[in-house]
Amino acid sequence: MFRIRHTALTDVGLQRNNNEDAYFGSAKDGLWIVADGMGGHASGEVASAIVIDTIKREVDAGSSLQTAIQKSHQDILSSANSGVGGAGMGSTVVAVQSHGRAYELCWVGDSRGYFFAPSTDEPGEYELRQLTTDHSYVQMLYQSGAISESELDTHPEKNIITQCLGSIELAEVNVDRIDGDWQTGSLLLLCSDGLSDFVKPAEIKKILAENHQLESKAKRLVTAALDGGGKDNITIVIIEAPGPLQLWFQDLRNGFNK
């Protein structure tokens, strides 16, 4: 299998004394995850760590990404019941798994996934598209027509989420999924709300469009979130789509293996 380039970065932010976020990225496994824990010190970080560990283990055992995420919900509940972490701890998640020329992206909560690529309609321009839809109270209000799109970022209850992994009110969570094809020249950005709450999409697009290495893009995004207030933990994973030669080699290998 070809290796997909990626980078990851996390920062505690300016107002927290601990980091409840967790991430994982492996080109070998074709798996990338961002988990944003909640529940306070020694609980949120336990929940996000459980999410990462469970998804890795379940995917490695052959489970689908959606099934692995669902299992992490049960594992958080079981851990809390057995005294590991704290009662009421939980986590959001956004994760990508690569399948040759295609990928799937799954999520629960308000951690986000973005698609970034050169515009096909305007040469020299770029597009940034949010792939995920927040499981949040304000998103529900917007979809019902109660508030406008312009109010999504300013509503006083914008940080209330409607579901998370570990929620004691839910026997199962709704793991949303979308499928896509790798497009040469594009990037996938996974992030916790420590980025999306404090850096507007136009600024994210501008930073990703700069001619820098992936690591530099990640550092610039974190800096932008800190400059924007940095009130939360910030975690970013950037995944670069494979190039034409890599895709051709993958097709060749698949042909040999038939």
Q: Do the beta carbons of residue 220 and residue 210 sit within 8 Å?
A: yes
Residue 211, both tokens: 């001619």
Average pLDDT, the chain: 92
> Which percentage of the chain shows pLDDT scores above 70?
93
Residue 200 sits at the vertex; the CA angle it makes with 180 and 210, to the nearest 5 degrees, is: 70
In which band, very low, low, confident or very high, does the pLDDT at 256 lie, cut at 50, 70 and 90? very low
Domain ranges of the chain: 6-129+164-253
What does the pLDDT look like over 118-141, one tens digit per residue?
998 888 899 999 999 999 999 889
In which band, very low, low, confident or very high, does the pLDDT at 254 lie, cut at 50, 70 and 90? low
| Distance set, CA 103 to CA 46, 130, 175, 179, 242 (Å) | 28, 16, 16, 6, 11
- Its sign, for the CA torsion 42, 9, 131, 247, is negative
3-state SS track over 161-212? ECCCECCCCCCCCCCEEEEEECCCCCEEEEECHHHHCCCCHHHHHHHHHCCC
In which band, very low, low, confident or very high, does the pLDDT at 156 lie, cut at 50, 70 and 90? confident
What does the pLDDT look like over 77-116, one tens digit per residue?
999 999 999 889 999 999 999 998 899 999 999 999 999 9
What does the pLDDT look like over 30-63, one tens digit per residue?
999 999 999 876 799 999 999 999 999 999 999 9
* The amino acid at 17: N
Q: Do the beta carbons of residue 32 and residue 239 sit within 8 Å?
A: yes
- Its sign, for the CA torsion 206, 193, 135, 188, is positive
CATH architecture of 6-129+164-253: 4-Layer Sandwich (3.60)
Report DSSP letters for 243-254, one per residue: PHHHHHHHHHHH
What does the pLDDT look like over 217-248, one tens digit per residue?
999 999 999 999 999 999 999 999 987 666 65
* Mean pLDDT, residues 194-210 taken together: 96
* The amino acid at 210: E
**What distance in Å separates the CA atoms of residue 174 and residue 204, rounded to the nearest whole number?**
28
| pLDDT(215) > 90 | yes
* β-bridge partners, 130: 114
Distance of CA 50 to the CA centre of its chain: 16
| pLDDT(250) > 80 | no
Q: Do the beta carbons of residue 173 and residue 2 sit within 8 Å?
A: no
